[in-house]
Amino acid sequence: MGKTAAILLARLIFAGVFAMAAIFKFAGMADTAAYISAAGFPFALALAWIAAFFEVGLVLAFLSGAFFSEAALLAGAYVIFLAFAFHGPSHWQSNQAEFGFFVDHFTFLAGLLYAAVHGPGEVLAVRKTIMSSR
């Protein structure tokens, strides 16, 4: 029972983090685009929309358990991309807190990798995957 509760809570936390990120993007798409543009990326508004819908997809996967391992791996790659793009070494001189934000992304990555390997659990999980269970 404890293991099942922990897995479900972890799935809710993953979903909650990405849901909040998507909600903030949808609520302030122009602000998100400006932030992306300030980091030097072209097509910032298109990237903001893509990121928001990607995060919605992650939420659905974490809540349902469908394509859970694939979603966790993609989320891990996304989180590390965000760490370097928006909180990487070039930001540390001007704001020391950026180093903490950078490191936090790796903690999140560790959880996502663990989740990818162990899957969504046995309860409340749609068993759809493209990855082999071997």
What does the DSSP 8-state code read for residue 125? -
Arithmetic mean of pLDDT, 78-107: 94
pLDDT in tens, 48-91: 999 999 999 999 999 999 999 999 999 999 999 999 999 999 98
- pTM for the model stands at 0.91
Yes or no: say if 87 and 100 are a contact pair by the CB < 8 Å rule.
Answer: no
Arithmetic mean of pLDDT, 31-54: 97
pLDDT at 12: 97
CA distance 42 to 92: 23
Task: Tell me what the pLDDT averaged over the chain comes to.
Answer: 94
CA distance 66 to 6: 18
Task: Tell me whether residue 42 is exposed, middle or buried, using C-beta atoms within 10 angstroms of its C-beta: 0 to 12, 13 to 18, 19 or more.
Answer: exposed
